[in-house]
Structure 1
Amino acid sequence: MAIKQLVGPSGSGLTKYLTDLYENTPGAVMLTSNPRAHITYLRTTVEEELAFGLEQRGVALDEMRQRIERIAGALDLQDLLDRAPNQLSGGQTRRVALGTVLILDAPLVLLDDPFAGLDPASRQQLAHVLHNLDADVVVAGHHAWLSDMDPDVDAELLGEEALLQLPEKVPSSHHGDDSHLHFPDLVGSQGAGKRRWWQFRKSQANRFEIGPVSLSIPRGGVLWLRGANGAGKSTLMKALVERDKRIGLMLQDPIDQVIDSRVDQMVPDAQLRSQFDLNSEEHPEDLSQRALRLAQFASVIG
């Protein structure tokens, strides 16, 4: 069994290549770039989500349990099996989505940017799983993660490789005690909160809390929050917004911030739309993944 790695910039045809291969290869399975598209959110636990595809294929119960145990061990999902699918971090959601695809034991596995959003340990773990699959694997992405971890895996380039060139740092005009934004004793939490009137089920027993953490953010500078998948980075950033409503928040999934039916409503600033080459009259959900991410960013900084 072989692993093929495709690398290219946004718009180079990576997803189209995988989609064409998927549509023309009977029995193939494909992980799209949106991990939430592979989770039904109709099941109450991660374990039931992993079983969903096997149920549709009429897999016997004993074999189903064996496959779930195997894939949970391979992707480090054991501690998440009883968790509600909507209470996972972005990286955890991606690992579960990978599980729903790999558990099907298909002869050809197509993966669209599977390493995005994974911490270094999870990337190493996924690479190990892919090398031990009894299947042909095609991995597409914007970075040659497999080659970084295993020099024997070659990367085929689609389009022209673009080098990242950052502009010079903008000097801060603030001095003294006002040169930092201080947020003492931040506490973020999710799960087990008060449910809305339309949420009929009881509160989930799972509750996650991070903090208290004190952050000092330099004006005109960058503060990098690092941590493993599920450590609480997004939860802490949401707590920042709750502390100060003037803060703009860019979520992991751009579709979560689409509330307008036209790009010019989502991004009112004409200069930003021009800078990011955004079509004013398009619906945000009709944009390419690249354009939607840029529209999301423009809406936040605008």
Structure 2
Amino acid sequence: MIRRLPDLLIEPVVRRALAEDLGRAGDITAQACIPEGARMRAVFAARRPGVLAGVDCVRLGLLALDPSATLNPRLRDGDAFEAGAVLVEADADARAFLAAERTALNLLGRLCGIATLTRAYVEAVSGTGARIADTRKTTPGLRALEKHAVVCGGGVNHRFGLDDAILIKDNHVALCGGVGEAIRRARAAAGHLVKLEIEVDGLDQFDEALAERPDVVMLDNFTPEMLREAVARAGASPFGRPVLEASGGVNLQTVRAIAESGVDVISVGALTHSAPALDVGLDVI
């Protein structure tokens, strides 16, 4: 079962989006056309097949404008669906429903798109043992929701922010004067619960990193042949085998070969920065 995000994390995002859309005077179209007190029943329906994420955004969007609104989710976050599937049925004040419609659809479509793309990557590496992870390449302000959508699609979350774990990248290495020195400095400063990962861009750097016993090594833009060699070297290392993460040059055409190299994790920025929104519509019933 997919863990739900607390409303405390979702509600501020939804309220900011509603405030942006309502502007200074609210929905003047609905106010002009719809009688006060009218009710509206409608369904959020998928126009294309996909994976659900973002049901709570719909719920909180409607409740923010009509506390008496009732919702009946037909599916749960993480469920797959076909085109035409009813995702959520709702009843609310008509003016409130119409005012919340675009915010709810924007968030639902965005998050379903991420979950759907993630599921495609997960299925592409099925049976290899590799896990698909996201990155910090998220839409500003939407990270918690977008990372939740990745989990709905079957992926796993990389670090949430800069304070989750130490990840030494190429610029850190350059400023420290080398892979080994960067790891030693980081290890000296890290608390006992802090994981340490380092990014390397070649097998020479990889060997240097192994000797310092990092928790994770990110193999950046390695070819499948280089990845297989790194996996072999890690398995034979007297220093122990770190978690091996492949990154860079990953797409749905290359991900299977990357996974078959024997790496443990494949991080894919496209899950959040390039996922197309799924087409979801609102139909009055």
> Which TM-score band (shorter chain)?
under 0.3
Structure with the larger RCO, 1 or 2 (CA within 8 Å, 6+ apart): 2
TM-score of the superposed pair, with normalisation by structure 1: 0.25
**TM, length-normalised to structure 2:** 0.26
Q: Which has the larger radius of gyration?
A: 2
Higher strand share: 2
